[in-house]
Structure 1
Amino acid sequence: MPLAENPFDQRRYQVRFEWGAAGLARLAPADVVVVVDMLRFSTAVTNSVARGETVPLGDAAHAVSLNGAAVAAAAAASGSLVVLGCLRNARAVAEAVLAEQQRRGERTSIAVIAAGELTGRDPGSPLRFAVEDQLGAGAIIDALGVLGIDHTSPEAAAACESFHGLRGAVRHLLTASGSGQELVALGRRDEVLAAAELDAETAVAVLREGAFVAS
């Protein structure tokens, strides 16, 4: 049997999962892209829009994360609706995606992209695996499934199960992770603990005309 044109694009599935901007480029175009960059891009911007702030993409990139912003910019350039997801708003993101599907009146494809972490200061540096982004993405995929959006790729299913199996240890895992320890050393332990709070926030940051606003 011949291979599909791109066996890695997860086109046949409604909910897809990949890593970073390169992973986003491997996937088939999606109607909605959820960017998960837990420590600290998606969490920090979500908190800001929850306070009623508008956060320009460029400002957010320089303040907290170049790689998460790069994924968001690439997704926006493809014409996708771009939202930021994290543990704090996993269910709210799933509800926003469901609302978008209802607004469209048709099956809506979703790419959940874990941003990962740069291994250097250069934006072109290789990415490393980031357990916090895996767990945040898994929480969102799990929340989508609860709402009935559960036609997931194997990659998305694995991310979902990683969260499901480790849900009770999320607080410890975030503070003990490499990214968490880096922030703890900078005196930001409280930020890591806040990022580990599941469904503590109902706001969803949506990228519109170059800035994040509350949906």
Structure 2
Amino acid sequence: MTASPFDQSRYQLRFDWGRNGLQRLAPADVVVVVDVLRFSSTVSARVAGGETVPHDESAHAVSRNGAAVASAAAGTGAVVFLGCLRNATAVAHAVLAEQNRRGARTSVSIIAAGELAGEGDAAVLRFSVEDQLGAGAVFAALETLGLDHSSPEAAAASEAFRGLRSAVRHLLTASGSGQELLARDRRAEVLAAAVHDADDVVPVLRDGVWSAYEVSAG
């Protein structure tokens, strides 16, 4: 099969948006799903607190998009992590540990969930600044660890985070998704999602459950 110019298969680190983006990219060994407000951040905090979180429960509670991306990623046979601002460096270390466990160069697709506007078949994917920054934070952490064979799309996300890192809290609260949650009296959740590297564990999806990634379990 001829490679698509959009599958980013030449690169170790790849970046795209939503379920269509996951399908567009070449198959990867590891998929990191980023849905900052609120799926990734909520599940990350719960797993960091010692919980295991059933995927169906987490999906119905906080996401109709990020959870769908995670389900699709699991169907590819990839190791599926949840990434966000809260656990960006921990995700990078988990990816490196997975590569070391495999003993081979490991391809990584980071999928920003984005926001679904509208309902049913009429729903369209909307860019979300919080997911761009969350994905960029993970890419930046991976590059710090020496995993830096990045696609142009991944490199741009990384530099967006590096350049805007000091403004992340403001950008999340001022974003459309942040404003929507503030209007629902969920300001505390937005602020919690904006904290960089608050969690030192990484949710991994296995057998329909999110639990803390451990190298020995890989």
Using structure 2 for the length normalisation, give the TM-score. 0.95
* Cross-structure match for 2:78: 80
SS at match of 1:132: helix
Equivalent residue runs for 1:182-197 within 5 Å:
182-197=180-195
Per-residue deviation, residues 14-54 of structure 1 (Å, max 9, x unmatched): 00000000000000000000000000000000111112211
Q: Structure 2: how far apart are the matches of 1:88 and 1:164?
A: 15
Q: Structure 2: how far apart are the matches of 1:49 and 1:5?
A: 37
* Cross-structure match for 2:216: none
How far is 1:203 from its partner? 1.4
Per-residue deviation, residues 80-124 of structure 1 (Å, max 9, x unmatched): 000000001000000000000000001000000000011024376
1:122 maps to which of 120, 123, 129: 120
Rate the CA distance shift 1:124–1:14 in 2: closer, same or farther, 3 A: farther
SS at match of 2:27: coil
How far is 1:59 from its partner? 1.0
SS at match of 1:66: coil
Code of the residue aligned with 1:45 in structure 2: it is: V
Q: Structure 1: how far apart are the matches of 2:119 and 2:61?
A: 13
Aligned 8 A contact 2:34 2:135 in 1: yes
* Cross-structure match for 2:207: 209
* Cross-structure match for 2:171: 173
Q: Structure 2: how far apart are the matches of 1:26 and 1:131?
A: 21
1:132 maps to which of 130, 133, 140: 130
Q: What is the percent sequence identity of the aligned residues?
A: 68
How far is 1:12 from its partner? 0.5
Rate the CA distance shift 1:123–1:84 in 2: closer, same or farther, 3 A: farther
* Cross-structure match for 1:58: 56
Number of matched residues? Answer: 212
Q: Structure 1: how far apart are the matches of 2:129 and 2:33?
A: 15
Q: Structure 1: how far apart are the matches of 2:27 and 2:121?
A: 24
CA RMSD, aligned part only? 1.0
Runs of 4+ in 1 over 6 A off after TM superposition: none
Aligned 8 A contact 2:130 2:175 in 1: yes
Aligned 8 A contact 2:3 2:9 in 1: no
Code of the residue aligned with 2:146 in structure 1: it is: G
1:154 maps to which of 138, 143, 152: 152
Return 5+ residue gaps in structure 1 as ranges.
none
Indicate whether 1:145 and 2:146 are aligned: no
Aligned 8 A contact 1:66 1:123 in 2: no
Code of the residue aligned with 2:102 in structure 1: it is: R
